[in-house]
């Protein structure tokens, strides 16, 4: 299938360098990195080399601060549940925001059923939480703050560095879900003042089902997976070595090419934002253009359903999404967009357009032409649209 | 490196069919199986096909009873913590045995710090737990029983079917850690009467870092990873699709070739047991030869350290292990062997020899010759051995 992939936020293709590294690992029959014979030591060398590269990608002080996981969701569950349970003796209060990914929301819901109190803060009209709101919410029972680095539906980037300063000053553990940022933007755990940071390999063109959790040295966090002594006793279970080798290679490439990639992605974003008005009218741009990822634009097309637009674009071989792939099957409007102040109707008309280093202006042109036709067709059938036109 | 791998329990090589399937998946840039466009549906088809094959491998009633995980350790953590927390309103008592894998022991330890009461039962001299001991330990507070199917250090197989009958009769959830059995022996969740069963891809020559959890329809278990709606809302997180495709192919091959493989593995076991006395003396066989896996033998060589034997065999390019790879770095004697009644000294002299479908009698001969020399050298230096000889 020759599909224009403008749904990169759901899945990025593997880099050719990553494919090569993974195929090499598959062909070479690597042993268990925990085994103490030569074959095990060889595997351990490859594992630790990937850990070193990932630690450089986020500027960790030491590779030992990186724990390999099965992806962003496990990293987030590990960070939140592990930090809450390990610090439950100090307090039971956790602060977060209304726009987090479901892995954060549902992990905290689980913790609330175990006696933890959750304060979830709103964002302003620009989609950002105010650091002073975080500061005001902290009590002497607060043990953890979790705020996402960038949002997976709108691309909006949060003021993590400022929140991190507040958290450090108040001596509260601070986690950021940076799953959609690490490998796209420069992310530096030291300047962000975070104790815990979740990331995912596929965001930077590594395989899915692999990720990492940064745990600052000294941060008190229980394992989520108990068992063997792997990962410096922080995450039990024989590692997905083939996937981790792929992530290590992807991290290496992200470090080398980050500036060039960002420029390309931002150019495509500027082009899309500029061109859109020539193809469709009556839409909202939900992405804060000043503080956002360079590879995503969230728009709401009035009077029609995003789901229908997505399916009709699919017929034209253009892949986009309407919300987080993790929420597929749920018919509810996105909590992220409702938090931004959108009406239910506008939230239902949402398209998430996300691109990658492999996309071109030509891909954007294909999307724009297809979108023009699809929107016209759907609005032609839309009773809401007709009513609106009569009013005017 | 041309190494004789007699440490298959730590890592099995990938089947050529598995390599091919994984490389194909890597080359084909699969999209997110949760995405609703064509590219997503294509990926979902591959995911569900692997789920169907894995369900056949353990004779589940439906593919929906299979949850893909990041390996045996996650499966075990999910089963135990998920079942305990979901049924905590009914009681807080859990029954297990003294010979479980660390993933079980440490998950239960975590639960005990959260108010659950754990009863851990001994095994008899043959290494097996008595079903009547399980029956006697059940109280009206018992919500969960966890007994491993086969032991990863001794290969001893437990009477799961009988324990399952007792659990079902008493309406207590029953989990078996079948990580070292599924794909080696016929395992049938229906005849075993289990509600929860953990398995791992690498045991049947699929990739590491991938596994599954069987959750019988109707069994009440909370997710371990909260977040998106993947895996029928039982395990959040974008799947490791490349790994799962590899596991699916490995499961297919295990189903087709199980009988032939078992015969080959058992022949190698018989050969090793027969030949050993011609090469070494003064050793214990810790594996119950009647009730055990066909691919593993645990022996204790008197007066010397297993660790030294392992390292010297490694110099001869023969890989074996001394205990679970998950316990590497710990100098303590194996809790499994101490539970069998071995002295600390004998437990320290242990070798775990484990083979696979790729091994031959010639490999066993290489091991035996190398072992003869290594044991002679080490005993020559052993003060314990000299003392013993003087006594005789």
What number is the average pLDDT over the span A343-356?
A: 94
Answer yes or no: do A227 and B326 touch at CB < 8 A. Answer: yes
Q: How many angstroms away from the CA of A26 is the closest CA of chain B?
A: 6
| Residue A205 confidence (pLDDT) | 98
A to B CB pairs, distance under 8 Å: 288
| Residue A383 confidence (pLDDT) | 82
| Residue A387 confidence (pLDDT) | 80
| Residue B389 confidence (pLDDT) | 74
CA-based nearest residue to A335, from A95, A102, A7, A10: A102
Is residue A129 pLDDT above 70, yes or no? yes
The three-class DSSP label of residue A11 is coil
Runs of H (alpha helix) within A9-159? 16-27, 38-57, 72-86, 102-112, 131-137
What number is the average pLDDT over the span B323-351?
A: 83
User: What is the per-residue pLDDT across B143-176, written as a single tens digit (0 to 9) for each?
Assistant: 999 999 999 999 999 999 999 999 999 999 999 9
Of A88-97, B244-253, B380-389, the one with minimum mean pLDDT is B380-389
User: What is the per-residue pLDDT across B198-257, written as a single tens digit (0 to 9) for each?
Assistant: 999 999 999 999 999 999 999 999 999 999 999 999 999 999 999 999 999 999 999 999
Contact A258, A58 (CB under 8 A): no
Closest B-chain CA to A101: B227
Answer yes or no: do A27 and B19 touch at CB < 8 A. Answer: yes
The three-class DSSP label of residue B379 is helix
Is residue A323 pLDDT above 90, yes or no? no
Sign of the four-CA dihedral A207, A208, A210, A211: positive
Mutate to test the interface with A, among B228, B311, B313 (most CBs of A within 10 A): B228
In chain B the first and final C-alpha atoms are separated, in Å, by: 43
CA-based nearest residue to A137, from A182, A84, A96, A87: A96
Mutate to test the interface with B, among A226, A229, A313, A317 (most CBs of B within 10 A): A226
- Alpha carbons within 13 angstroms on the beta-carbon side of residue B317 total 6
| Residue B259 confidence (pLDDT) | 98
Is residue B133 pLDDT above 90, yes or no? yes
Burial A160-175 (b: 16+ CB within 10 A, else e): bebbbbbbeeeebbbb
Give contacts of B82 with chain A, Cβ < 8 Å. Answer: none
- Per-residue pLDDT band for A159 (boundaries 50, 70, 90) equals very high
Helices B241-279 and B38-57 pack at an angle, to 10 degrees, of 30
Give Cα A362 to chain centroid, integer Å. Answer: 26
The 3-state secondary structure of A209-277 reads CCEEEEECCCCCCCCCCCCCCHHHHCCCCCCCHHHHHHHHHHHHHHHHHHHHHHHHHHHHHHHHHHHHH
- Per-residue pLDDT band for A42 (boundaries 50, 70, 90) equals very high
What distances in angstroms separate CA B177 from CA A99, A271, B49, one per listed residue? 38, 55, 24
User: Which single residue is written with the structure tokens 């549940």?
Assistant: A81
The 3-state secondary structure of B126-187 reads CCCCCHHHHHHHCCCCEEEEECCCECCCCCEECCHHHHHHHHHHCCCEEEEECCCCECCECC
Answer yes or no: do B228 and A326 touch at CB < 8 A. Answer: yes
Residue B354, beta-bridge partner list: B7, B296
What distances in angstroms separate CA A237 from CA A209, A310, B235, one per listed residue? 14, 39, 17
User: Which single residue is written with the structure tokens 């997905």?
Assistant: A240
Q: How many CB atoms lie within 10 A of CB B387?
A: 10
Answer yes or no: do A7 and B326 touch at CB < 8 A. Answer: no
Sign of the four-CA dihedral A92, A98, A102, A106: positive
Give contacts of B208 with chain A, Cβ < 8 Å. Answer: 32, 238-242
Segment holding B297, helix H or strand E: strand B296-301
Answer yes or no: do A102 and B11 touch at CB < 8 A. Answer: no
ipTM summary value: 0.95
User: What is the per-residue pLDDT across B268-278, written as a single tens digit (0 to 9) for each?
Assistant: 999 999 999 99
CA-based nearest residue to A339, from A188, A148, A120: A120
User: What is the per-residue pLDDT across B69-89, written as a single tens digit (0 to 9) for each?
Assistant: 999 999 999 999 999 999 999
| Residue A328 confidence (pLDDT) | 62
Burial class (CB in 10 A: 0-12, 13-18, 19+), A33: buried
Query: Mean pLDDT over all residues of chain A?
Result: 95
Segment holding B46, helix H or strand E: helix B38-57
CA-based nearest residue to A77, from A41, A101, A45: A101
| Residue A333 confidence (pLDDT) | 85
Residue A129 to residue A343: CA distance in whole angstroms: 20
Using CB atoms, which residue from B14, B37, B329 is nearest to A26?
B14
Using CB atoms, which residue from B107, B240, B313 is nearest to A243?
B240
Using CB atoms, which residue from A19, A77, A238 is nearest to B208?
A238
| Residue A286 confidence (pLDDT) | 96
Q: What is the token pair recorded at B95?
A: 């029954």
Residue A166 to residue A159: CA distance in whole angstroms: 11
Answer yes or no: do B110 and A319 touch at CB < 8 A. Answer: no
Give contacts of B328 with chain A, Cβ < 8 Å. Answer: 34-36, 229
A54 part of the active site: no
| Residue B323 confidence (pLDDT) | 79
- The pair phi, psi for residue B42, each rounded to 5°, is -60, -45
Residue B97 to residue A296: CA distance in whole angstroms: 52
Burial class (CB in 10 A: 0-12, 13-18, 19+), A345: middle
Residue A338 to residue B333: CA distance in whole angstroms: 58
Percent pLDDT > 70 in chain B is: 97
Burial B162-177 (b: 16+ CB within 10 A, else e): bbbbbbeeeebbbbbb
Is residue A351 pLDDT above 70, yes or no? yes
Residue B360 to residue B341: CA distance in whole angstroms: 33
Cβ neighbors of A281 (< 8 A, separation 6 or more) are none
Residue A252 to residue A214: CA distance in whole angstroms: 17
Answer yes or no: do A240 and B314 touch at CB < 8 A. Answer: no
Residue B217 to residue B374: CA distance in whole angstroms: 52
Answer yes or no: do B73 and A102 touch at CB < 8 A. Answer: no
Answer yes or no: do A328 and B34 touch at CB < 8 A. Answer: yes
Quickly count helices (H) and strands (E) in chain A: 14, 12
Sign of the four-CA dihedral A123, A129, A130, A132: positive
What number is the average pLDDT over the span A249-275?
A: 98
Active site residues of B: 326
The three-class DSSP label of residue A350 is strand
Contact B356, B5 (CB under 8 A): yes
Q: How many angstroms away from the CA of A92 is the closest CA of chain B?
A: 15
Mutate to test the interface with A, among B23, B245, B328, B352 (most CBs of A within 10 A): B328
- What chain A holds in terms of domains, given with CATH numbers, is 4-10+257-391 (3.90.1150.10), 16-253 (3.40.640.10)
Of A369-373, B9-13, B331-335, the one with minimum mean pLDDT is B331-335
Using CB atoms, which residue from A7, A34, A241 is nearest to B326?
A34
What number is the average pLDDT over the span B329-358?
A: 89
Contact A253, A96 (CB under 8 A): no
- Per-residue pLDDT band for B392 (boundaries 50, 70, 90) equals low
Runs of H (alpha helix) within B184-330? 189-192, 230-233, 241-279, 306-315
Is residue B17 pLDDT above 80, yes or no? yes
Using CB atoms, which residue from B22, B35, B321 is nearest to A321?
B35
| Residue B333 confidence (pLDDT) | 85
User: What is the per-residue pLDDT across A47-60, written as a single tens digit (0 to 9) for each?
Assistant: 999 999 999 999 99
What number is the average pLDDT over the span A315-331?
A: 79
Local structure of residue A326 (DSSP, 8 states)? G
What number is the average pLDDT over the span A60-82?
A: 98
Active-site hit among A86, A262, A326, A345:
A326
- Per-residue pLDDT band for B2 (boundaries 50, 70, 90) equals confident
């Amino acid at each position: 299938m020759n599909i224009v992939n403008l749904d990169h936020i759901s899945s990025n293709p593997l880099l050719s360098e990553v494919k090569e590294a993974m195929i090499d690992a598959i062909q070479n029959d690597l042993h268990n990195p925990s085994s103490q014979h030569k074959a095990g030591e060889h595997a351990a060398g490859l594992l630790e080399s990937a850990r070193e590269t990932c630690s450089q990608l986020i500027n960790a002080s030491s590779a030992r601060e990186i724990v390999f996981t099965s992806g962003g969701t496990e990293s987030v569950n590990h960070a939140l549940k592990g930090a809450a349970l390990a610090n439950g003796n100090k307090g039971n209060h956790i602060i977060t925001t209304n726009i987090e990914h479901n892995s954060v929301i549902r992990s905290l819901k689980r913790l609330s059923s175990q006696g933890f109190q959750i304060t979830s803060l709103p964002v302003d009209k620009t989609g950002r939480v105010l650091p002073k709101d975080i500061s005001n919410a902290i009590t002497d029972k607060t043990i953890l703050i979790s705020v996402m680095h960038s949002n997976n539906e709108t691309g909006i980037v949060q003021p993590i560095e400022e929140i991190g300063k507040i958290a450090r000053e108040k001596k509260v553990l601070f986690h950021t879900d940076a799953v959609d940022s690490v490998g796209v933007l420069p992310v530096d755990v030291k300047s962000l003042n975070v104790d815990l940071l979740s990331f995912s390999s596929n965001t930077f063109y590594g395989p899915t089902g692999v990720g990492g959790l940064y745990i600052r040295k000294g941060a008190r966090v229980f394992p989520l997976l108990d068992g063997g002594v792997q990962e410096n006793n922080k995450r039990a279970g024989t590692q997905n070595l083939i996937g981790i080798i792929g992530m290590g290679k992807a991290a290496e490439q992200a470090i080398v090419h980050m500036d060039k990639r960002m420029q390309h992605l931002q150019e495509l974003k500027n082009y899309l934002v500029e061109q859109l008005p020539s193809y469709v009218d009556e839409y909202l741009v939900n992405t804060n253009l000043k503080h956002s990822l360079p590879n995503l634009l969230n728009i709401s097309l009035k009077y029609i359903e995003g789901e229908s637009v997505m399916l009709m674009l699919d017929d034209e071989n253009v892949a986009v999404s309407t919300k987080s792939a993790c929420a597929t099957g749920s018919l509810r409007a996105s909590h992220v967009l409702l938090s931004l102040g959108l009406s239910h109707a506008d939230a239902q008309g949402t398209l998430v357009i996300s691109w990658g280093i492999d996309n071109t202006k030509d891909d954007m042109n294909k999307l724009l032409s297809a979108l023009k036709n699809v929107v016209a067709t759907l609005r032609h059938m839309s009773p809401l649209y007709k009513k609106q036109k009569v009013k005017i």
